[in-house]
Structure 1
């Protein structure tokens, strides 16, 4: 029987079983269900960034359900399902560590997180310490969107794998598009004031100076994460600076509120963004963003890959409400690669799965990817795409907004592959 404290802890953390044995059925009441492989996602599902956390959960549920629908993970003793359980971090590193301990108590094999590089850094440290002391219950940390470059450089860990291009790689792709945009003469940098936002600002300064030394940096500012409700003062500074473009790594409500304020405040320039393609941003900026908002990712809906498009249509059938859009291809890639690594390892053992993932070349949709062994950084092509009205080349819009994106440039993996300073300690 659970203790009172244990029960309270479970209620407080709001555990949500996101995908439990999907695709499996019992042949009879007496049959024992196969032991699941336990995935614990630690994300904010309440607070200022709940919209981003809920989007993550939809993507992960869908990816896990795809694996379970084909029978689960093939093991010597038979097929085993993936079981995804969600833990609410409220977007705070301290709370994420509490949830890490809860996931550990629930016998999780794998920790999943991505929305916040600061949280990811805390979870990497926690995973390192736990695995050093508990060889019989080691866990891997799978990162789908925490893109501070240090996480696979000086803070790299054998127990951490990143399935998203890091900030320097994404900025490299964005500035390749900016290199050709001769209309931009002045830029303004506005980013969130924590490790990721600081990394974006640094990468923008360095790469714009290298590729477009004629562009003038007319302003740079960092703002508190998740605490600004009115971005009009920032937009006023941007307009007054005469900037032709803003470069921002903002995400979640910090992005949607910014672009809405820019539209209301009369900013006529472009936004070069990391995440301007989702989480209400296209609807917020509206017609003012057509041809002027650019984003970067591993794929977008109108990129033209038939296999990825079929997956997208299946996702929309699973989540038909416009507010429940957005599919990120990297979640599918991450879960499929994890399943393949567990099968190759023959068990969910953390060391064996890590070694199976290292150097893995995987034929994902929409393109082949490689998990670099030296630093556990995924290498993948990237797309830079710009906002447009639905119709013509824009077959699919975003979140029912009537706006979608068209490809500006596709950058091959080799062109955004950067050297790593990782000096990994291996068990």
Structure 2
């Protein structure tokens, strides 16, 4: 039975993702996608990880012949622009991408950069209607981006911070071992919104939990988190709640381990990019992460999806794979074909109705605010080989066991968006 299952998984992976190194059959002019991300500096590892995900997704579309349009099939081309994680550099990259003929802008790592790009794209599209672009966001999760700052030109494919916090609270709410919590985050719009929502939801769902610390730190500039870790331990907190990502998370959990903090970490991004290896054995049963998908989701389709990514990017440190980025590219390809055009307005109108599935995972775009609705999962760190942990993270020997699956309709939250729509 094990051999048959293994063969079935290999067959499924080959059918779905036979990698994407084959020459595309599309012959028309390429559809240019511009990735604007930190590809150097403190968060370069996050930008490169995103690039691998998007490259794989683009390859898959091209392997099946590109996007079908009335004038013939056209391949997708992913071009890289280094923002260095800075808003000013991102705006300069946006101008370069548009001058290079990019029609779709992809960015996500940093809500501050996202807000700057969104403003610039709104202004550009108003000034130059013949060169309009769409902005596809895979990770910038400040709730304002699809609420009071929502835009017809912006589509978010990650669950926003309030949705992620609500999912985490479904687990923390039942964790009676947590009687006190320390809130810590990066000092910009996203980090601030995470702590604000943590306070609100703790008050509503766990009023018995005392908040024993509440602080923000500079984004990407702290090299030594020992002073923060020392305060966390001294506070007597049973748990830390944080939206930190990249090196700001990795360095923090390393410091917490070094000072002997033995509480839990309820995180948005504790499942990748060095965090599991950094915390090591101390994280078993203690690091909790919320995601749109985890490698140990117990389905054959999910396993085949992950195995195929590992075949494409075989080094352990390259296994930062996100389903939402794959669904985003699938949704874009679907919208272009449905619109019969790569022009911004018809593609945006079609993208509002996107409903896509891949490897047993699915999602739909909510037209009211352009917030993607999808399944969320919560996982707890454990040793590879433990029940429910077939796959580890980045060769660390530790992976995440799925403890909660939240259906899209349960993860969905209301929106305050009042969007101004644009017609052709």
Are 2:27 and 2:72, in contact at CA under 8 Å, matched by a contact in 1? no
1:48 aligns with 2:24: no
Are 2:34 and 2:106, in contact at CA under 8 Å, matched by a contact in 1? yes
| SS of corresponding position for 1:156 | coil
Match of 1:399 among 390, 394, 398: 394
Corresponding residue for residue 176 of structure 2: 182
Corresponding residue for residue 87 of structure 1: 81
Superposed CA offset, 1:218-264 (max 9, x none): 01010000011110100111111100000000000000000111111
Are 1:22 and 1:68, in contact at CA under 8 Å, matched by a contact in 2? no
1:384 aligns with 2:378: yes
Are 1:128 and 1:159, in contact at CA under 8 Å, matched by a contact in 2? yes
| SS of corresponding position for 2:36 | strand
- Alpha-carbon distance, 1:360 to partner: 2.3
1:150 aligns with 2:144: yes
Superposed CA offset, 1:266-305 (max 9, x none): 0000000000000000000000000000000111000113
Are 1:22 and 1:81, in contact at CA under 8 Å, matched by a contact in 2? no
Provide the C-alpha distance between the structure 2 equivalents of 1:367 and 1:98, rounded to a whole number of angstroms.
Answer: 36
Corresponding residue for residue 24 of structure 1: 23
- Alpha-carbon distance, 1:66 to partner: 0.7
Alignment of 1:239-388 (within 5 A): 239-388=233-382
User: Which stretch shifts more, 69-78 or 106-115?
Assistant: 69-78
Q: TM-score normalized by structure 2? A: 0.93
Are 1:23 and 1:71, in contact at CA under 8 Å, matched by a contact in 2? no
Alignment of 1:65-104 (within 5 A): 65-104=59-98
- Alpha-carbon distance, 1:367 to partner: 2.4
- Alpha-carbon distance, 1:22 to partner: 5.9
Match of 1:131 among 98, 121, 125: 125
Are 1:255 and 1:276, in contact at CA under 8 Å, matched by a contact in 2? yes
Structure 2: give runs of 5+ residues left out of the alignment. Answer: 1-19
How large is the Cα RMSD of the aligned pairs? 1.3
Superposed CA offset, 1:132-178 (max 9, x none): 11111110000000000000000000000000000000000001100
Provide the C-alpha distance between the structure 1 equivalents of 2:306 and 2:382, rounded to a whole number of angstroms.
Answer: 19
Q: TM-score normalized by structure 1? A: 0.92
Superposed CA offset, 1:169-219 (max 9, x none): 000000110010000000000100000000000010000110111000001
Distance 1:317 1:103, change over 3 A: same
Are 1:390 and 1:403, in contact at CA under 8 Å, matched by a contact in 2? yes
Are 2:24 and 2:75, in contact at CA under 8 Å, matched by a contact in 1? no
- Alpha-carbon distance, 1:410 to partner: 0.9
Provide the C-alpha distance between the structure 1 equivalents of 2:392 and 2:215, rounded to a whole number of angstroms.
Answer: 32
Are 2:49 and 2:320, in contact at CA under 8 Å, matched by a contact in 1? yes
Aligned residue pairs total: 402
Provide the C-alpha distance between the structure 2 equivalents of 1:135 and 1:23, rounded to a whole number of angstroms.
Answer: 36
Structure 1: give runs of 5+ residues left out of the alignment. Answer: 1-20, 27-31
Corresponding residue for residue 15 of structure 1: none
Provide the C-alpha distance between the structure 1 equivalents of 2:211 and 2:56, rounded to a whole number of angstroms.
Answer: 42
Provide the C-alpha distance between the structure 2 equivalents of 1:116 and 1:60, rounded to a whole number of angstroms.
Answer: 17
Provide the C-alpha distance between the structure 2 equivalents of 1:346 and 1:406, rounded to a whole number of angstroms.
Answer: 42
- Alpha-carbon distance, 1:368 to partner: 2.4
